[in-house]
Structure 1
Amino acid sequence: MEVIAIQKSVLNGMKNELEALLELTENATRKYNPIFKGEQWLDNQEVCLMMNITKRTLQTYKDKGLLPYSRLNRKNYYKRSDVQALLDAVHPNNTNNNGFTDE
């Protein structure tokens, strides 16, 4: 085991810098919280697994406007509530809240 001794003033300086960094991070993320409003977002793979469909079928749903999506850094994201609504529309009597069928 290695022990490193530093001056208390240096340790306090590091602590202050870390607290300032934490505050900057919290301030940067706080402005995005209203956008998400507690909504869970899913990527292509998660949607395909949840709906038990292929990527091509997912693309068809997007092309026909059946499943709204948002694009961020060349990646598509879908609101879980939108995916669940489409699942309910496709299989109204056959899905539960987690997206898996009761077959």
Structure 2
Amino acid sequence: MEIVCIDKQTFDELRARFCKLEEKMAGVCRPMEDSGLKNGIDNQEVCGILRISKKTLQVYRDKGILPFSRIKHKIFFKPEDVQKLLESNYHPLKRKS
């Protein structure tokens, strides 16, 4: 093993650089924070929520009724978009007087 002597100023500079490097590496290695992406729901879940078939859901996508995101062949929907669709098509019960 070889021992190298350096002056205090050089040592402090090296230490500061290593600390910066450590912070950068911690940022890179840290798991991604939730950016709302975990909340995406897939075709099957939306069909269950709306009680519709996959074909009907495809028609909703094709007509622009329900916004979606596609990653390769997987389609995702935002829960708030599904909720908005439900609310915009809500028809309250009219009571006869």
Q: TM-score range by the shorter chain?
A: 0.5 to 0.7
2:59 aligns with: 60
* 1-structure distance, mates of 2:38, 2:83: 12
- What is the letter of the counterpart of residue 63 of structure 1? D
SS in structure 2 opposite 1:71? Answer: strand
Deviations 1:24-76 (A, max 9, x none): 251xx24xx44x3x772110000000001111110111011010000123100
1:32-51 → structure 2 map (5 Å cutoff): 33-34=34-35, 36=36, 40-51=39-50
* 2-structure distance, mates of 1:72, 1:40: 15
1:19-34 → structure 2 map (5 Å cutoff): 24-26=29-31, 29-30=32-33, 33-34=34-35
Given the two structures, how large is their TM-score scaled by the length of structure 1?
Answer: 0.55
Name which one, 1 or 2, has greater alpha-carbon Rg: 2
Moved over 3 A (4+): none
Q: Unaligned 5+ residue runs, structure 2? A: 1-24
Between the two proteins, the alignment pairs up a number of residues equal to: 68
Q: Determine what percentage of the aligned residue pairs are the same residue.
A: 39
What is the RMSD of the two structures over their aligned residues, measured on CA atoms?
Answer: 2.7
